Amino acid sequence: MAALLKIPGIKNATAFHLERWRQVCADPGLRRLPERIETNCYGHIVMMPPPGFTHSNLQLEIGHLLKILMNGGRALTECAVLTSDGVKGADVAWISESRVKRGLKDDVLTIAPEICVEVVSPGNTRQEMENKRELYFAAGADEVWFCDQKGTLHFFLKGSAETAAKSSVLCPSMPKRVKV
């Protein structure tokens, strides 16, 4: 046990996660893999299968709607967001230009986009989705949306993150259901 106490700790979690993400992205072997990659709080690689057709379609539909309905920012897919549990890939995001300027570092957002969207896959668990919601809010998101496989959107707002809202505050014209 004494040997464990001599292992250096993480002094700056942001610097640690950004450096680990840089290493992951620079690895030619990892770049060739078809799987989606995130990291966890220890810097370990977490791999997931590529999204299926429905998942990809829903990402595009939501991203397209955000792009046409929102002004002063960008709609993104597969957006790398630094969280307290490593770098996560939001399926879809909307971020203001001012937040991009403040939070973009080494191709990773160190501040979560205003809106982070997760398309729920059949293999996801409720606990996993609740954890992602908490991580995005803790990283600075104002809204976290979940989209189920039927295209129904569930909106969660920063002030009441546990209960789904009837609509988005930031994008009130976003429909409650998108085309599958």
pLDDT at 162: 83
Say if residue 2's pLDDT is above 60.
no
Say if residue 160's pLDDT is above 90.
no
Domains annotated for the chain, with CATH where assigned, are 1-180 (3.90.1570.10)
Q: What is the pLDDT of residues 56-89, one digit of tens each?
A: 999 999 999 999 999 999 999 999 999 999 999 9
Kindly indicate the confidence band of residue 3, based on its pLDDT and cuts at 50, 70 and 90: low
CA-to-CA distance for 148 and 68, rounded, in angstroms? 22
For the entire predicted model, the pTM comes to 0.90
| Greater model confidence, 159 or 153 | 153
Write out the H or E segment, with its range, that includes residue 161.
Answer: strand 160-165
Alpha-carbon distances, residue 58 vs 86, 106, 137, 148 (angstroms): 25, 28, 22, 9
Tell me how far the alpha carbon of residue 161 is from its chain's centroid. Answer: 16
